[in-house]
Structure 1
Amino acid sequence: MFKKACSRKPFFVISSAMQEIEPSYQWESIYNASQDPKSPFYGRSYSNTEYINTIYSYYIHPLWDDIDSETLYCKILFTDYSLQFTVIELMGEWNDTLHNDIMLFKRGVIDHLLAAGIKYFILVGENVFNFHGSWEDDYYAEWFEEVEDGWIAGLCFPEFIEKEWNKYKIDYYINFGGTLQIPNWRTAKPEMLFLLIHKILSNRLGA
């Protein structure tokens, strides 16, 4: 049995249960970003009982990491520096229109990982409930250029968000949709998930 399939629920349906949405934890016995000296979240401590961060006045689970956005949070689930990949789960509303979330995410998280040699990025978007785009794509373009021969993959983002990404040409920078809807990704070991996505994108990009 899968823990849960790729989410298709819009934000307003589940906003009343925001604090119940936890980051995925299936790999925490083998990786913890707060204990990784190369992680941007190294040294952070967490409480399972004290709720501080909110999205539109709804408290969210305290295990999500704050990136200085009003509506978007993340969790680095796994990073392998030898294979040069990371898996990052996102939660909330991705808002480039008002909050320039791509800038906050790029500067606060991605730049640290790029500096540590990461060039393959797997973004898990089951719990991203909305996307507000901007025609300014500088940070997406910068990220895309900096991975060089790597890639950025969006895993299990809701279909309506993928449509918005297409509208704002984010598909030029982030690969998503189709075979990247992998509902049983939690049951895979992180290395196997990476190799699967690498194969999918190699076929897709003709590499």
Structure 2
Amino acid sequence: MQDIEPYYRWRDDYVAAEDVNSPFYGREYSEFYYVNKIYNFYIHPQWDFFGSHTLYLKVLFADYDEGYAIIEMIGEWNDCLYDDSIFLKRDLIDFMIEKGIYRYIFICENVLNFHSGDNDYYEEWYEDIKDEDGWIVMINTLQHVYEEMKDNKLQYYLNFGLEFNNINWRPYKPADIYQILDKMVNGKIVQLPQGWDLLE
């Protein structure tokens, strides 16, 4: 896991540590010292700790004019034992909502497991953003992660599932990804079975 680095090709456009509106503003990173772990496995030092000891993230892009953020995740999302949704909501999302971010794109291909708990914080999050036409999308969730989320009825608050999986997002700019997902969430596009064909 220590070789999995957050996506870095948008760094010319956005760096959370240089964004005065980011909760990670001013954070410094080492390329050589590995201190954060998920269980017994060290992870790359570019990932950000936000309160959970099994789940880390990186804000890859935030656009305050359009009101969206793209966030990459790694680890085990564990609401059952560690209340990860509480840390996420209180230490990141509440902060971002205050700055005008109402639409969230989570890249979940490195979320290896999801253990459900109470849905209270997902419901609160949904309530906080719905009046601003906000939404939350989870892309590229693993099958068993998707099934656990669905079994816990998170589809009432989050957008995820087959139509949001197997998406080749890396070749595109954040604005392109946002525009396509916004159309999908709002029913203007049903799905993209071949990835991002409509962007080509």
TM-score by length of 1: 0.88
Q: Which runs of 5+ in 1 are unaligned?
A: 1-17
Tell me which residue corresponds to 1:202: 186
Alignment root-mean-square deviation, CA: 1.4
The residue identity in structure 1 corresponding to 2:119 is: D
Matched, 1:75 2:58: yes
Whether 2:7 is the aligned partner of 1:32: answer: no
1:110 is paired with a residue whose SS is helix
Q: How does 1:69-148 map to 2 (within 5 A)?
A: 69-134=52-117, 136-148=118-130
Contact 2:59/2:72, CA 8 A, preserved across alignment: yes
Q: Are 2:159 and 1:175 equivalent residues in the alignment?
A: yes
Q: Deviations 1:111-141 (Å, cap 9, x if unpaired)?
A: 111000111100110100001111x211000
How far off is 1:201 after superposition?
0.8
| Alpha-carbon distance in 2 for matches of 1:141, 1:205 | 25
Task: Please state how far the C-alpha of 1:29 moved relative to its aligned partner.
Answer: 1.0
d(CA) in 2 for partners of 1:192, 1:59? 33
User: Which secondary structure state, in structure 2, belongs to the residue aligned with residue 186 of structure 1?
Assistant: coil
Q: If the length of structure 2 is used for normalisation, what is the TM-score?
A: 0.91
Q: Which amino acid is the alignment partner of residue 159 of structure 1? A: Q
Q: Is 1:155 aligned to residue 104 of structure 2?
A: no
Tell me the secondary structure at the aligned position of residue 20 of structure 1: coil
1:49 partner amino acid: F
Aligned residues: 188
Shift of 1:57: 1.3
Q: 1:106 and 1:165 mapped to 2: Cα distance?
A: 17
* Residues 80, 116 of structure 2: 8 Å contact kept: yes
Given candidates 41, 45, 58, the residue that maps to 2:41 is 58
Q: Tell me which of the two structures has the higher relative contact order, counting C-alpha pairs closer than 8 angstroms and 6 or more residues apart.
A: 1
SS in 1 for 2:187: helix
Q: Is the 8 A contact 2:183 2:189 kept in 1?
A: no
Deviation of the 1:26 alpha carbon: 1.6
Q: Give 1:178 shift.
A: 2.3
- The amino acid across from 1:46 in the alignment is Y
